[in-house]
Amino acid sequence: MRQKKATAMWIWMSLALCVSGSLWAAGSKDASCPEASAVQEKVSATFAGRQVTVKKVAPSPVPGLCQVHVLASERNQILYTDSSGRYLVLGQIFDAQDKKNLTQAALEELNRLTSNDLETLKGLTAFTLGSDKAPKTVYFVTDPQCPYCKQAESTLEAMAKEGVLNVRFVLFPLPMHPGAREACIALLCDKKGHDEFKNSYKSDNQCQEGTQKIDAVMKFMQAHGIGGTPTYIFSDGTFRSGVMDRAALEKKLNTP
């Protein structure tokens, strides 16, 4: 088979790699890792025809594995390799003792927004829920036709009503949803809020100001590798895509 002739072996992990507490304690922070240039050769051969750039190679928490930070399609990604650089491992590492997704945590750090980015988000906010004096704030990136967003919004609404969370809605119409862009622009142009958003507000108002704001949102999200809804952006600059239940949301909001 042609795959056997590849210069690097790609291991597709159907199950995430789980790390026990003792293994974590053993660590491999001092283990040697291949040079980024050597890993780049293997990555380029494996992903022939695609632009995947190796940015950094460093020891991972797992003995024998090195963490590889790559830029693929202008997005930060993480894969793993061995000390020789022969094997490329795609998957997520979980600390089974602490119940923590180590790959996700590393990606959060790579993708963390700056204070200037967060300031830009203020200007891209369409409307808010909850008091400005609430102890916690989250930016909620949503699309009017996103069914999962509606599920997430019910939790955010409840927390906003309780006065524990200020929710800043950023409208991000996905190209796959016909009419979503026009609906978002109309909401902005007509200066409508959450009630109208929930009730699928529509109008023919496609003013320049609203159009430019949605264009700015699209550009911002693309620049930061955010391609789906719902996405929560937190005050520390980290973000998570996908619905978070209240317990997960509260844990993240209360994590220093």
Residue ranges in the chain modelled with pLDDT below 70: 1-31
- Listed in order, strand segments (DSSP E) in the chain are 9-12, 17-19, 52-59, 66-72, 75-81, 87-90, 93-95, 100-101, 127-129, 136-142, 165-171, 231-234, 239-241
The token pair that represents 192 in the structure block: 């409508």
pTM, two decimals, is: 0.76
Smallest Cα–Cα separation from 34: which of 6, 4, 64?
64
Output the pLDDT for position 19.
52
Q: Where are the domains of the chain?
A: 2-111, 115-253
Angle at 216 between CA 211 and CA 219, to 5 degrees: 125
Which distant-in-sequence residues (6+ apart) come within 8 Å of 123 by Cβ?
Answer: none
Residue 167's CB is within 10 A of a number of other CB atoms, namely: 23
Sheet containing 17-19: order of strands: 17-19, 93-95, 100-101
3 state SS of 226: coil
Output the pLDDT for position 74.
75
Smallest Cα–Cα separation from 20: which of 105, 98, 104, 103?
98
Cα distance between residue 209 and residue 226, in whole Å: 23
Cα distance between residue 88 and residue 78, in whole Å: 11
| pLDDT, tens digit, 9 for 90 and up, residues 1-54 | 444 434 344 444 433 455 544 443 444 444 589 999 999 999 999 988 888 999
Per CATH, the homologous superfamily of domain 115-253 is Glutaredoxin (3.40.30.10)
Output the pLDDT for position 72.
86
Contact (CB, 8 A) for 209 and 128? no
Cα distance between residue 245 and residue 148, in whole Å: 12
User: CA–CA distance from 5 to each of 43, 45, 51 (Å)?
Assistant: 15, 11, 21
Output the pLDDT for position 21.
43
